[in-house]
Amino acid sequence: MQNPRGKVYLVGAGPGDCNLMTVRSHKLLSQVEVLIYDALVDLPQLELIPVTCHKIEVGKRGGKPSTQQQEINRLLVEKCKLGKQVVRLKSGDPFIFGRSSSEIQALIEAGCDFEVVPGISSALAAPLLAGIPLTDPVMSRCFAVMSAHEPDALEWQALVQIETLVILMGGRNLGEIIWQLQKHGLSSQTPIAIIRDCGRPEQQIWIGNLSDIVHKTTGQSLSPCAIIIGEVVRLREYLIQPQSINMNDIPVTPDRNQLPLAGKTILVTRAASQSAEFSDRLQQQGARVIEMPALVIGPPSNWELLDSAIAQLSSFHWLILTSHNAVDSFFQRLKAHGKDARSLFGIKIAVVGKKTAESLRSHSLEPDFIPPNFVADSLVENFPWEGGDGGATSTKYKILFPRVESGGREVLVKEFTAKGAQVIEVPAYQSCCPENIDPIALAALQNRAIDLITFASSKTVQNFCNLIGKNQELLSQDWLENVCIASIGPETSKSCYNLLGKLDVEAKEYTLDGLTEAIVQWVADYQSL
């Protein structure tokens, strides 16, 4: 029987941070069968691949033993001919000092299928992450990138005429580089920056000029590093946040690595269409985020009840919206009937939560009532009944409540009904469990790469457990032991206790900002122990 056709992907891993890899690279890593990778590739990237993958490290770290290029070529061809999906993971970009030509030639000669996937080279990422622009209308109209692995092979007389130089693989030859630049006419006061391990938690930056940088880095291991030479280095003082940095302060650790969630990997379980905002919040605090959608938002199985309510909108006194999804679904259906916000004239609107209020405002409407604690129970307890706390006046209230088709908010409906109000529940959207767990998230769980899992609703907890149940045989029995569970509020926390058997963090304010703040505080408290 003929083996299935294999393929080799030459993939750029970027400067070291998983979040700076391309979407294509992430997808390939989640499906890889054989991984042949450089030593410079960030270890967390390897934690995101399937546990069944065969990993082969081939070195390629300056000054240390590496697998011979001919042997790497042989491995690529061999694994491909076995019908495997092979990823050759290279630091930076495969075509920038990546020695890809030899590997591609070997694949072509062997008749192997291949694809090259770009990555971000440290030549571009290192200065950017250090706050140094490579071009400037006045200081730098061009730049040159070179390898200083063999400094004698470079045309220094031509290079000193270029306004900005980016030198890779030059850490061990720094003294020779400085000597050549000054020998060929570059001023000793020319600014220079050395960025080691760019995009990694251990990144360091040295700033100086050609006359003092060797002294400033004496005794330091500089590899792997990017060296930036030119007047643009001075711009860092004005561009780095949150405050100006003294050019002579070395080493300088980037602000990112001082952020409270630096080094933490957090799993976000919100719907794919809604996870970006929360992920951004966590990343701004320094976290590495992996998204595992545990909800799929879609239309209800039948629009009939909502359509009937929209046709009778003028008969309602209040519209209650308890989620961003409810707002979007209701107004999309309103639009489908040729109506807009004007159809709600005379109807008061109550919403639960800041996010729901923001969604309503996007339709140019201001909520008439927002409960203080952003939960349904608080909506009932604090509802602005005419003449006081319910009673006879509430009997004239007809309330429209668009909600998720699968139900929920039973307390809200029960309590309003008990006070004499007429509550019309209509399905406006459906939240379902995805069919499969995200492969990158699964690999991260398998490899114990997750520090914390967040839940923003009880439904996400339920669906998460369903997805885990389908893949339980792929996880160790104690996979949850060292993982922190974080909840957005009391109802979600109950689901965490009931279904996962634990809860470590609960937001004091039941919002995404509140959950982020609670996570930051928990990490600070945990690290201080």
22: left (phi over 0), alpha (psi -120 to 50) or beta: beta
The CA dihedral of 120, 122, 127, 131, to the nearest 10 degrees, is: 60
Q: Which of 169, 292, 438, 451 is catalytic?
A: 169
54 membership: H or E segment, kind and range: strand 54-57
Torsion of CA 431, 435, 440, 445, to 10 degrees: 90
268-274 contacts, C-beta under 8 A, 24 or more apart: 268/292, 268/454, 269/293, 269/294, 269/295, 269/453, 269/454, 269/455, 269/456, 269/460, 269/461, 269/463, 269/464, 270/294, 270/295, 270/456, 270/460, 271/295, 271/296, 271/297, 271/431, 272/296, 273/297, 274/324
105 vs 111: CA distance, rounded Å? 10
- Contact predicate 57/37, CB 8 Å: yes
**Can 255 be counted among the known catalytic residues?**
no
Other CB atoms within a 10 A radius of the CB of residue 447 amount to 15
Distance of CA 202 to the CA centre of its chain: 20
Q: Which residue in this structure is represented by tokens 């000597």?
A: 179
Residue 6's contacts (CB-CB under 8 Å, 6 or more residues apart) are: 79, 80, 81, 82, 83, 84, 85, 86, 112, 113
Is 355 a catalytic site residue? no
The dihedral sign for the CA sequence 397, 403, 406, 410: negative
Q: Kindly name the residue from 38, 42, 438, 451 that is annotated as catalytic.
A: 38
The question of whether 93 is a catalytic residue gets the answer: no
Give me the catalytic one of 42, 60, 84, 438: 60
> Chain centroid to CA 1: how far?
43
Q: What would you report as the CA-atom Rg of the chain, rounded to the nearest whole angstrom? A: 29
Provide the annotated active-site residues.
38, 60, 169
